[in-house]
Amino acid sequence: MNRKKPLDVTQLFPTVKVLFMKIAEPRTIRIVMFTIYILMGFAGVGILIDVPDVYREPLALFSVYIFGGMIALGAAFSSFSVLPGIWWLERVGLILLTTGITIYLVICLVVGSSAIGLAAVSALGLSFVARFLDIKGAQLAPEGE
């Protein structure tokens, strides 16, 4: 009886496995964080390109450019550094992201936002704080981790 071997994805895509193995441990958490940072980068650039009408007043417009720039730059630093485990650069990005989210929360409080919107943005900001606390104290990810 001739049985076929199950299909091994690593045989089809050896480059994917090599790239995946270059990601520092824990890989799944880093991939999730990378995805969050990329989404935040799109949000930061999007707010800089197309400012909503509610923020068109002079002080609010300036604040929007500040927090949009902080989010875009923080997301760029963090997404670049999370996969290889360059924690000092990821911390810089997290500080920028958290500060940008905090400015956004203040703007939402002044302009007015729903309770669910404020809670969701607060939870996102707190997730950045939690990540910062996870990686503080080291410059790079340990080799064995």
Per-residue pLDDT reduced to its tens digit, 72-98: 999 999 999 998 888 899 999 999 999
Evaluate whether residue 19 is within a structural domain: no
Evaluate whether residue 67 is within a structural domain: yes
Q: Would the pLDDT of 144 be above 60? A: no
Residue 59: predicted pLDDT: 66
Evaluate whether residue 13 is within a structural domain: no
Average pLDDT over residues 27-33: 88
Q: What is the pTM of this model?
A: 0.81
8 Å CB contact between 76 and 93? yes
Residue 2: predicted pLDDT: 63
Read off the amino acid at residue 61. L
Residue bearing tokens 């199950």:
6
Q: CA-CA distance, 107 to 110, in Å (whole number)?
A: 5
Residue 119: predicted pLDDT: 92
Residue 58: predicted pLDDT: 65
Q: Would the pLDDT of 1 be above 60? A: no
Instruction: Read off the pLDDT of residues 95-125 as tens digits, 9 standing for 90 and up.
Output: 999 999 998 898 888 878 888 989 999 999 9
Evaluate whether residue 110 is within a structural domain: yes
Instruction: Read off the pLDDT of residues 35-70 as tens digits, 9 standing for 90 and up.
Output: 999 999 999 999 999 888 777 776 678 888 898 999
Residue 134: predicted pLDDT: 86
Evaluate whether residue 14 is within a structural domain: no
Please state at what angle helix 87-111 crosses helix 58-82, rounded to 10 degrees: 150
Evaluate whether residue 125 is within a structural domain: yes
Residue 127: predicted pLDDT: 92
Tally the domains of the chain: 1
Evaluate whether residue 17 is within a structural domain: no
Q: CA-CA distance, 64 to 56, in Å (whole number)?
A: 9
Evaluate whether residue 141 is within a structural domain: no
Cis bond leading into 142, ω under 30°?
no
Q: Which domain holds residue 127?
A: 24-135
